[in-house]
A and B are shown apart, each in its own frame.
Chain A
Amino acid sequence: MFIVFSILSHWLIVLALSPLFAGIIAKIKAFFAGKKGPSYFQLYFDLRRLFMKNCVYSRSTTWVFRFAPIVNLAAVLVLSLIIPLGSFKAPVHFSGDILLAAYVLGLARFFMIIAALDTSSSFEGMGASREAFFSCLSEMVLFMNFITLAFLTHSISLSTMIGADIPMSWKMAGTVLLLVVGSLFIVLLTENSRIPVDDPDTHLELTMIHEVMLLDHSGVDLGFMLYASAIKLFIFAGILVPIVYPVQTGIPLLDTLIFLGGMLGLSIVIGVVESTMARLRLNRVRNLLLIAFALAFFGFVVKMWKG
């Protein structure tokens, strides 16, 4: 009984807060551009509007195209069950759940890519191949980070990796965590298609990487895809924030507030990074990901050195 309650409450938080998170980032980007920008709750309004519309399907698509948004959202929601959010324990945790997390993400991405290919349009094909390439590299980096964290916390369950052990590790292995945080930040930017990897606001199909996945969806499907992207961003931020700012005061309310404050801070950082950098050339993105891998591997080497 309790597990059902915790799953539902976990989902409630994730579903409620992730569009707000995306809205904060958009607001910061507008601030840097000197504009007033869209409302903080714009994504909520967009989702409401989209959920009330019908879907339009191209005649060249098959059941895969209709199926993909559902898989995407479902996979991301399953992923959110494994991630602990601040003081809220992950409802589902077992040894080895990082593998489940990574491959659930992979499942979502796989369906997005084949849905894009399903449209038999050249823009989608181009974008899908780029998306596949970058996700290959970012998965390698992600796993390297997980390995380092696993050695640090002596467990391969996400709840304990990002959980209570981390405050001790900052004091003992601060440098390792510094490298891991740097690497994970780059992974966050890659997985969620932020500048400098991909421009989420672009309307030029030639330059799209992730946007192209959303190009042909409409109505409820588009709503699902947008929601899934927002939740994915929230989840990745939720992985990063407890590592950066691990505070366990014991009082649930205070912990939650601190967690949310950390998320706010991270969203500001992402917004600043997005506003001050330009999108990298595509082969430079590969270099960036290799640098992220070097950071993670270096962190691993330092961890092994420290014993």
Chain B
Amino acid sequence: MTTWVDTSCIITVFLALIILSNYRVTAMIRIFALQSFVLSLLPFFLHAYSLSGRDIFIVIVTMVLKAALAPSILFWAIRHVSMRSEIKPILGFGSSIILGVILIAGAFWVSSSLKLPGGKPASDLILPCSLSTVLLGFMIMVTRTRAVTQVLGYLILENGIFLFAVSLFDVMPVLIEMGILLDIFVAVFIMAIVVNHINEEFEKDLASVSRSKMGETF
């Protein structure tokens, strides 16, 4: 099962890299949904020979929250926005890819000096891949000017933390899992509402807001 775990980790990081270079909001949300789906299958792969009810519960809840609910809330948040891509991306495609690849290499380098105690973990790649995803999520947040895409970067950061949490503990404290899931759910919900209100504010002030500011957050 190690190969499946490894492959999921690799796919997660790679999809984060794709999102970093992409500036179209709908594409970003869809790729994020795919990434969350792959990530939510991870408990399955890790405990394939000894599935417990808790694993199944986590898989289902994560899949529903992160791969279904979060993207739909984000789509709902942008339903009024007409411009679906960035006017002037901060980084071009090539620069984003190169930067992302450097970040991944950096994360792997940092992980090489960290040794996981307590026996062999299920897969070697989990720690560096989770750090890479966290770094890429950071970068996505930093290079975006719109509210929805910043939230997306944060969600990818959360995905990285989730990858770390799910895979590194045999006996994981329940609280942390619930904390992660609660965090994501409530954060997305509130952020979507705030974004919604932001959009509403925009709608009201349409006459006074200049056309060029329409795509930006504020």
Contact = CB atoms under 8 A, between A and B. Distances in A.
**Binding between chains A and B:** yes
Interface of A: 174-175, 178-179, 286-287, 290-291, 293-295, 297-298, 301-302, 304-306
The residue in A175, A298, A301, A306 that gathers the most chain B C-beta atoms within 10 A of its C-beta is: A175
A294 B105 contact: no
B108 A301 contact: yes
Contacts of B101: 293-294, 297-298
A178 B125 contact: no
Given A174-B3, A291-B21, A306-B125, 14 more contacts: A174-B6, A175-B3, A175-B7, A178-B10, A287-B21, A290-B94, A293-B97, A297-B101, A298-B10, A298-B101, A302-B108, A302-B125, A305-B111, A305-B112
B112 A178 contact: no
Interface stretch (B11-19, B29-37, B59-67, B144-152): B11-19
A297 B106 CA distance: 13
Contact of B104 (A287, A290, A301): A301
B124 interface: yes
B160 interface: no
Q: Which label, helix, strand, loop or mixed, suits the secondary structure of the A interface?
A: helix
Contacts of B14: 294-295, 298
Contacts of A287: 21, 93-94
A23 B21 CA distance: 37
Contacts, number: 55
Contacts of B105: 297, 301
A283 to B, nearest CB: 8
B137 interface: no
Interface SS of chain B: helix
B43 interface: no
B71 interface: no
B24 to A, nearest CB: 12
18 contacts: A174-B7, A175-B7, A175-B9, A175-B125, A178-B10, A179-B10, A286-B93, A291-B97, A293-B97, A294-B14, A295-B14, A297-B105, A298-B101, A298-B104, A301-B108, A304-B108, A305-B108, A305-B124
Contacts of B104: 298, 301
Nearest to B129: A302
Contacts of A174: 3, 6-7
A179 B105 CA distance: 15
Contacts of B6: 174-175
B98 to A, nearest CB: 8
Interface in B82-113: 93-94, 97, 100-101, 104-105, 108, 111-112
Interface in B120-157: 124-125, 128
A306 B10 contact: no
Nearest to B13: A298
A302 B97 contact: no
Contacts of A178: 7, 10
Nearest to B9: A175
A294 B136 CA distance: 14
Contact of B100 (A294, A302, A305): A294
Most buried by B among A179, A287, A295: A287
Contacts of B100: 294
B8 to A, nearest CB: 10
A302 B10 contact: yes
B110 to A, nearest CB: 11
Contact of B18 (A291, A293, A305, A306): A291
A175 B13 CA distance: 12
A290 B3 contact: no
B105 to A, nearest CB: 5
